[in-house]
Chains A and B, each alone.
Chain A
C-alpha cells in the first residue's frame, strides 16, 4: 500500500477546486486516485488498502453520510468485480477506467434529475420560498442562484415554515442520504418541514442522486452515525450574554424584515455561536411516511421503491 498518497487531502483539495462537485463523487474520485498510486500486488492487500482509505475518509468529515454512501457503492463495485480477476495489473487498469467513467456518470446524475423538472427553462411561472438555514446560510446562497435564473424567491426564517406553509403548493428538499426504508437524511430542519407539510396536507418531495442511497436503517433521530456524545449536550459557556448589543431584538412585523435577517447573519463569529454550532446536529432523519415521492436519476420513486434498488445492488 502506498504511504505517500494521502487520500483525505486529495479529497479535500478536490472539493476546494470544484465547489459544485458533491461529496460522494469527490470521495470516489479520491479512491480512484488511490488505486492509481497503489503498490498492492495481491487482491487482499488491494482490498484492504481501499477499505482503510474509505474508513479514513469517513472519519475525517463531521457529516459523513453521503460520503459513506459513495464509498460503500465503490467498495461494492470493486468487490463484485473481484471474482473475475485473471491478470491483476490489467484488472487494476480497467478499474481505473471504470472509476473515471463513474465520476462522469455520477456528475451527470444531477442533470438527469434536472430533466425531470426543468421548470424555469420551460417558462413555467412559479415562486420559491427558501429557508434561511441560519447556521450555514445555504438558503441565502440558493436564493442568489435562483434569482439569477429569474425565479422570484423569498428568504424566510427557519422558524417561519409553519407560517408560510398554507401559501405553498409543495415542498422540495435535497438529500444528504436516502436510507433503506426510503427515509431521508438531510440538513437539520428538514424533518420539521416534513411534519408541517404533512399537517397542512402538502406534498413533500425529495431530490437525490442514486449514489446517495445508503445502507442504514435508523429507528429514530439518534440512530444516525453523525450522533455523538457532544450533540445537544448541556455545556457551561464562559460567554457573557448581557454584554452583546441588542441587534437581533424582535423581528419587526412590518418595515424591514430583510435588514433583521442580515443582522442575524453577522452573528456567526461569536464564541457562543461557535459553541452552539459544535453541539447542535447538522442533519436529521425524516421517516418515509412523511415523504410523498423521491426524484432520482433512476426515475421517480415512492419511498418503498428505494429498498428495492439497494437490494439489487447488494444482492
Chain B
C-alpha cells in the first residue's frame, strides 16, 4: 500500500480510537471516503490483491473501534461491489468461449446449486484487469457515496404513508433520521409527538426542542412514564445505532423498554434506518456491541461515601430483539424484520464475514 494512503488510514484509525469520530453516519462517510482513495491510489491487478487491500484497511479500522458497526458494513459493501465488477468482467470475457455447462450466473456465490456445479465458488484469480474495470469499481463505490448522501431524502419521502392526522407518535433519543421523517410528515399532517427524555444523556430533550422549532407539538416525558402513557400512543418511531442480521437493534439505552411496552399494548414499532446500518453479524449475547460511558452522569462523583458501596454502570446502548420490531423503513423502502436476510444477501458477501486475508 502506498505511503500516502497509509498515512490517511493512520489518521482515521487515530480518530476512531480517540472517539473523535462517533455516530454511524459520520463514521460511514469517513470510511467510504478513505476506501475510495485506497482503491484509486494503489496498484492492483488481480481480484485477490484488491480484496486483500480493502480487507486489511477494514481490519485496522474495525480494531480501532469495534462497536461502530457501520465501518464493517461499508467495507463489506465495497468488497461486494468489487466482487460483482470482477465477476461481470469475467462473465463478459467468457461469453465468447462456450463450455457445455455454462451455468446461469446466480445472485450470490453460495447456493445449493453450487453443490452440484463444476467450479468452487471461492475467489478466483481474475487475471483480466482492464482500465475500465478500475474506473467501473470506483464509479460503483461513488454510487454508494451518493446513496449515503440521499438517505434522509429517501426515508422522509415515505413519511406521509405512515403518519396520519391526529396521531400520537412516541420516540426516544435524538435520531436525525427520525427528526427528518417527522418534519416531512408535519408539512402535510398535524400530529403530536411524545419524546422520552432519555436519561442520562437527555438527548430526548434536544429532540423535542428541534421538533418544536419545526412546528411539531412535542411533549417530553420521563423514561419511567413510557409504559404508563403507551396505551394512548398510536405508533412508536425509533432510530437506531445499528441493525443486526437477525433483525435485532443496537439502539440508545431505553429503547428496549419502550419497545417492550409497545409490544405489550400492541402498538406498532417502526424503525427508521439507512441500509448502511445493517450489519451481517449476529448478537451472541445482549452486550456484544455495547459500550459503557461515564458513570458520573448516573451517580455523581460528589456522592463520595456512596461510591465505594455501590457499582454504577452507564451502558450507552440497548439490544432490542427482533420480536419487538414491526417494520424497518429504509432508503430502499419498508421491510419487515424477516426480510432482512434478503437485504444482507443482496448487499454483502458471505466470505466477508471476517476480514482475514484471503488465500
CA distance A258 to B113 in the complex (A): 46
B-binding segment of A141-149, A159-167, A304-312: A304-312
Measured CB to CB, the closest approach of chain A to B237, in angstroms, equals 24
Interface of A (DSSP majority class):
helix
Q: Within A102-136, which residues are at the interface with B (CB < 8 Å)?
A: 102, 105-106, 109
- The answer to whether residues A293 and B115 also contact, given A298-B350, A299-B110, A302-B338 and a CB cut-off of 8 A, is no
Contacting residues, chain B, for A301 (C-beta < 8 A): 341
Interchain CB contact (< 8 A) of A293 among B102, B116, B282: B282
Give the residues in chain B near A105, CB-CB below 8 Å. Answer: 115
* A213 contacts the other chain (CB 8 A): yes
Q: Which residue of B lies closest to A213 (CB)?
A: B112
In the complex, B339 has a CB within 8 A of chain A:
yes
Q: Which residues of A contact B106 (CB under 8 A)?
A: 312
Which A residues are CB-close (under 8 A) to B341? 301-302, 304-305, 308
Known interface pairs A91-B100, A299-B350, A308-B341; A98-B118 also in contact (CB < 8 Å) = yes
Which residue of B102, B113, B245, B342 is within 8 Å of A313 (Cβ)?
A: B113
Complex CA–CA separation, A309 to B345 (angstroms): 11
CB of B328, distance to nearest CB on chain A (Å):
14
How far apart are the CA atoms of A313 and B110 in the complex, in Å? Answer: 11
Contact indicator B102/A84 (Cβ below 8 Å): yes
The verdict on A211 contacting B112 (CB below 8 Å), with A293-B246, A312-B106 known, is: yes
Query: Contacts A302-B338, A312-B107, A312-B111 known; A73 to B116 CB distance under 8 Å?
Result: yes
* A255 CB within 8 Å of chain B: no
A185-198 CB contact bits vs B (8 Å, 1 = yes)? 00000000000000
Contacts of A299 in B (CB 8 A): 110, 350
| A310→B111 CA distance, assembly (Å) | 9
Map CB proximity to A onto B145-176 as digits: 1 under 8 Å, 0 otherwise: 00000000000000000000000000000000
Q: Is the CB of B345 within 8 A of A98?
A: no
> Which B243-260 residues have a C-beta within 8 angstroms of A?
245-247
**Is A227 in contact with chain B by the CB < 8 A criterion?**
no
In angstroms, how far is the closest chain B Cβ from the Cβ of A259?
38
Binary interface profile of A, 283-315, with partner B (CB < 8 Å = 1, else 0)? 000000000110000111110110011101100
Please, which residues of chain B bring their CB within 8 A of the CB of A60? none
Q: How large is the interface on A (under 10, 10 to 19, 20 to 34, 35 or more residues)?
A: 20 to 34
Among A102, A302, A304, point to the contact of B116 (Cβ < 8 A): A102
Interchain CA distance A211-B115 in the complex, whole Å: 8
What are the residues of chain B within 8 A of A77 when measuring CB–CB? 113, 116
What is the 8 Å Cβ interface bit string for chain A, positions 77-110, against chain B (1 contact, 0 not)? 1001100101000010010001000100110010
Q: How far is the CB of A238 from chain B (nearest CB, A)?
A: 49
Partner of A102, one of B107, B110, B115, B340: B115
With a cutoff of 8 Å between Cβ atoms, the chain B residues found around residue A30 in the complex are none
A210 interface residue (CB < 8 Å to B):
yes
Question: Closest approach, in angstroms, between the C-beta of B229 and any C-beta of chain A?
Answer: 27
Q: A308-B345, A312-B107, A312-B112 are in contact. Are A84 and B118 (CB under 8 A)?
A: no
Residue numbers in B under 8 Å from A313 (CB-CB) = 111-113
- Are A94 and B115 in contact, CB atoms less than 8 angstroms apart? no
Which residues of chain A are within 8 angstroms of B340 by Cβ–Cβ distance? 302
Q: Specify which chain B residues have a CB less than 8 angstroms from the CB of A312 in the assembled complex.
A: 106-108, 111-113
Q: Which chain B residue shows the least CB distance to A105? A: B115
Are A73 and B246 in contact (CB-based, < 8 A)?
no
Q: How far is the CA of A77 from the CA of B114 in the complex (A)?
A: 10
Instruction: Give the chain A neighbours of B112 by CB distance below 8 A.
Output: 73, 210-211, 213, 298, 309-310, 312-313
Produce 1/0 per residue, B88-126, CB < 8 A to A: 000000000000111000111011110111100000000
A210 to B112, CA, bound (A): 6
CB distance from B13 to the nearest CB of A (A): 28
Per CB-CB distance, the 8 closest pairs between chain A and chain B, nearest first, are A305-B341, A304-B338, A77-B116, A313-B112, A210-B112, A299-B350, A102-B116, A298-B110
Q: List 12 interface pairs A-B (beta carbons < 8 Å), by A numbering.
A: A84-B101, A91-B100, A98-B117, A105-B115, A210-B112, A210-B115, A211-B112, A293-B246, A302-B340, A310-B112, A312-B108, A313-B113
Residue ranges of A at the interface with B (Cβ–Cβ < 8 Å)? 73-74, 77, 80-81, 84, 86, 91, 94, 98, 102, 105-106, 109, 210-211, 213, 292-293, 298-302, 304-305, 308-310, 312-313
Interface residues of B (CB under 8 A from A): 100-102, 106-108, 110-113, 115-118, 245-247, 282, 338-342, 345, 350
